[in-house]
Amino acid sequence: MRYDSHAVNPYMARALRLARRVLGTTSPNPAVGAVVVRDGRIVGEGATQPPPGPHAEVVALSRAGEAARGGALYVSLEPCCHQGRTPPCVDAILEAGVSEVHIAMLDPDPSVNGGGRAALEAAGLKVTVGEGEEAARRLLEAYVKHRLARLPFVIAKFAASLDGRIAAASGDSRWVAGPQARAWAHRLRTRIDAIMVGSGTVVIDDPLLTARPGGRTARRQPLRVVVDTRGRTPPMAQILTGPAPTLVATADDTSLAWRASVEAAGAEVLLLPREGEHVDPYPLLVALAERGVVSLLVEGGGVLLGSLFDRGLVDKVHAVIGPAIIGAADAPAAVAGRGAYRMADALRLRDVSVRRLGEDILVTGYPQYPGPRD
């Protein structure tokens, strides 16, 4: 994502760029950037550090030191005013002696939500809100969803052929997408909190499901989640090994022996109610949000994606389209579920963007659901 420097104050644009650099490393805290300016010159800057590290404002102000006194602070999210893992950022701002604070957007977290702005104004500081707000909201879309709905921001990602198939009739899916698309997917995994697949993907593809940008295992790994209603995941599956933790979500009537074998392999088992023939996805999302999962990447298969789309639980779509035609009637589709009976009922995307990934095309957009959502 690029920010238009002509539309956003250059100091706020810099704060947004700093925030974007740490996206995916600060969760469950938001990725925030801050810049301290005095006499038209940047004297300090920083971004939120991984928990329990300092927030962006504290980093920027500490780097500015005495040069911050009488200056201006530009920050991509409202400073916190409560004691969490770290002291309130408002206190650090007041102690630093800046005279004005520019905030891109207010923090939707109920523990802040205007409180930081009010505290700064009460202390006599000039506070401006809204510079770069649109860019800040897009950057923090997952954080906003998590704080307002108490659910993860769900990103559906799949690679499909031109005719919408994710594998051949045999189930072979290596590779629908090319190397550039796969490299992009590994970079994406470094910016999310959890990655989820259905048991069919585990049984057929046996993925490791870790973030390996540039072929190297990333330091921070997303939680791996397997939705396995019938207890199909073999205890020797790769997804139960490696550097990342694994959560297996299953129905409460699955075999005790199978659950024990999965737990012995190192996974945590979460028991959930059924919705028809499958695990109910909504309580699973609630449980993940309670564990601090702010962003969730769902990589298939079609049955799992279909259940999420049918319930209106997908917030964003990344569809990688490869220049191939599979054509087999038995080849699995990217999205199953109830779907649309008429074209008028088909789910459309808004704010669509398209880019090339080598020979593949990446289509990104946000689903437009017709009625109230869960």
Q: Please, what sign has the CA dihedral across residues 17, 21, 24, 28? A: negative
The residue from 45, 57, 131, 299 that is catalytic is: 57
Q: Which of 119, 64, 53 is nearest to 87 (CA)?
A: 53
Q: Residue type at 213?
A: P
Secondary structure (3-state) at 301? coil
Question: Active-site residue 57, yes or no?
Answer: yes
Q: How far lies 373's CA from each of 60, 305, 313, in Å?
A: 40, 16, 7
- Give the integer Cα–Cα distance in Å for 329 and 92: 63
Q: How far lies 62's CA from each of 20, 46, 57, in Å?
A: 21, 9, 8
Secondary structure (3-state) at 149? helix
Secondary structure (3-state) at 187? helix
Q: How far lies 198's CA from each of 148, 233, 299, in Å?
A: 27, 10, 8
Q: For residue 212, what are its two tokens?
A: 């390996």
Alpha helices in the chain (DSSP H): 10-21, 56-64, 89-96, 115-122, 133-139, 141-149, 179-189, 199-205, 256-264, 281-290, 302-310
Q: Which of 126, 132, 136, 131 is nearest to 93 (CA)?
A: 126
Q: Residue type at 37?
A: V
**What positions carry a catalytic annotation?**
57
